[in-house]
């Protein structure tokens, strides 16, 4: 919308705000030139809702003051909104024009969205079909409570920043991980963060289904602390050094301690894959009628656990790999350390939007 009022190029950066951390990224000429992150103390944000706007704004200002790489001078920003408080789903409508479909989607929204419509920001977009559909039009509905958005808006204003767009986390992650934001088959993205895991299915040129799982990187750490009777930092070190590789006696001990959380994680993933395939996948069936998840892509800090990709592949019988958040950048090398790059997927996707659209 703001593009209509600016006739000069407006630089913007991406900022990913989650319950326990903030990450910022700026992209220029197709490469990352600035990045940084800061940890948040518990309670500033709780389950995606801002609880302490002033403290959160101060944390953002501190982060920008110690950014790595090129100093971020612009005040314009594209910010993330919490997946766990949002709703995204593709709904089928009769064959309609784009204008008619968007209007109809707003009337149908109350049948799908678990919030009162007057209390949400609602967006509807036509979804290009993965296969030719002559009988219906697919529309992507996205909604998030107004009070959630207004909380983040207040924080950014207190930090002296000017938001030009907000975006639900899964939309940004897809932009970073899916080459040219297009697939010919359904792909599942698991964004394993500190407090939860984002679950997003993408097919064709659009998200098809999203949800949030209560399994997190922190939950793996807590399992090690509880079972092995060790302190937090030792648990973190063991989690990333051994992961689920079962390397040596200590690796086997770590794996055994993680089994309950791993089992729960796998079962929840299976549950939502099954839900998608029985309730939503008919929206883009291929000619042969089969529409199963063909690949799983991992991102988020928890994806750095050694062997997690291979473990999930063996348990779910679906090829699984770590994502590449640089796949849509001109330069495939980054100033962000390789060991941290997966945790920046959302922030990179936000910055990519600014770079791609140029905000002219």
Answer whether 328's CB lies under 8 Å from 352's CB: yes
* Confidence class for position 253, pLDDT limits 50, 70, 90: very high
Answer whether 48's CB lies under 8 Å from 19's CB: yes
Map residue 19 onto helix, strand or coil. Answer: coil
Lowest mean pLDDT among 76-80, 140-144, 191-195, 323-327: 140-144
Give every CB contact of residue 166 below 8 A, 6+ residues apart in sequence. Answer: 78, 79, 80, 81, 149, 152, 153
Tokens found for residue 45:
């944000």
- The single-letter DSSP state of residue 114 is S
Answer whether 300's CB lies under 8 Å from 217's CB: yes
Domains of the chain and CATH, by start: 2-82+146-181+325-357 (3.30.420.40), 85-142 (3.30.1490.300), 197-322 (3.30.420.40)
Q: What is the DSSP string of 102-113?
A: HHHHHHHGGGT-
Percent of the chain predicted with pLDDT > 90: 64
pLDDT at 290: 53
If phi over 0 gives left and psi between -120 and 50 gives alpha, with beta otherwise, what is residue 208?
alpha
pLDDT tens figures, 162-178: 999 999 999 999 999 99
- Burial of residue 337 (CB within 10 Å: 0-12, 13-18, 19+) is exposed
Q: Is-above-0.85 flag for pTM? A: yes
pLDDT at 147: 94
* Confidence class for position 282, pLDDT limits 50, 70, 90: low
* Confidence class for position 278, pLDDT limits 50, 70, 90: confident
pLDDT at 133: 59
Answer whether 295's CB lies under 8 Å from 187's CB: yes
Torsion angle of C-alpha atoms 34, 30, 185, 272, degrees rounded to 10: 10
């Amino acid at each position: 919308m703001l593009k209509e009022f600016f006739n000069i190029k407006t630089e913007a950066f991406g900022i990913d705000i989650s319950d326990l951390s903030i990450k910022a990224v700026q992209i220029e000429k197709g490469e990352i030139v600035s990045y940084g992150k800061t940890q948040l103390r518990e309670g500033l944000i709780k389950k995606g809702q801002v609880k302490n706007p002033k403290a959160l704004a101060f944390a953002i200002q501190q982060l920008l003051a110690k950014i790595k790489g090129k100093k971020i001078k612009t005040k314009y920003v594209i910010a993330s909104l919490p997946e766990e408080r949002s709703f995204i789903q593709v709904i089928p409508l009769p064959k309609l024009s784009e204008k008619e479909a968007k209007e109809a989607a707003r009337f149908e929204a109350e049948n799908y969205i678990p919030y009162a419509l007057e209390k949400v920001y609602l967006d509807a977009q036509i979804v290009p079909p993965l296969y030719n559909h002559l009988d219906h039009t697919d529309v992507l509905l996205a909604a998030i409570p107004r009070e959630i958005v207004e909380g983040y808006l207040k924080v950014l204003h207190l930090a002296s920043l000017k938001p030009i767009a907000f975006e639900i986390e899964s939309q940004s992650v897809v932009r970073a991980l899916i080459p040219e934001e297009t697939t010919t088959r359904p792909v599942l993205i698991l964004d394993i963060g500190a407090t939860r895991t984002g679950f997003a299915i993408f097919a064709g040129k659009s998200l098809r289904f999203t949800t949030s799982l209560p399994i997190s990187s922190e939950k793996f750490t807590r399992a090690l602390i509880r079972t092995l009777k060790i302190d937090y930092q030792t648990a973190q070190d063991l989690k990333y050094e051994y992961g689920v590789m079962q390397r040596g006696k200590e690796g086997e001990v770590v794996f055994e301690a993680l089994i309950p959380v791993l089992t729960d994680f796998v079962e929840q993933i299976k549950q939502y894959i099954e839900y998608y395939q029985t309730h939503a996948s008919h929206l883009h069936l291929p000619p042969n009628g089969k529409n199963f998840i063909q690949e799983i892509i991992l991102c988020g800090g928890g994806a750095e656990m050694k062997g997690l990709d291979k473990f999930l592949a063996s348990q779910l019988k679906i090829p699984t790999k770590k994502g590449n958040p640089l796949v849509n950048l001109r330069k495939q090398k980054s100033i962000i350390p390789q060991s941290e790059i997966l945790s920046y997927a959302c922030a990179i996707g936000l910055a990519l939007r600014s770079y791609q659209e140029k905000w002219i």
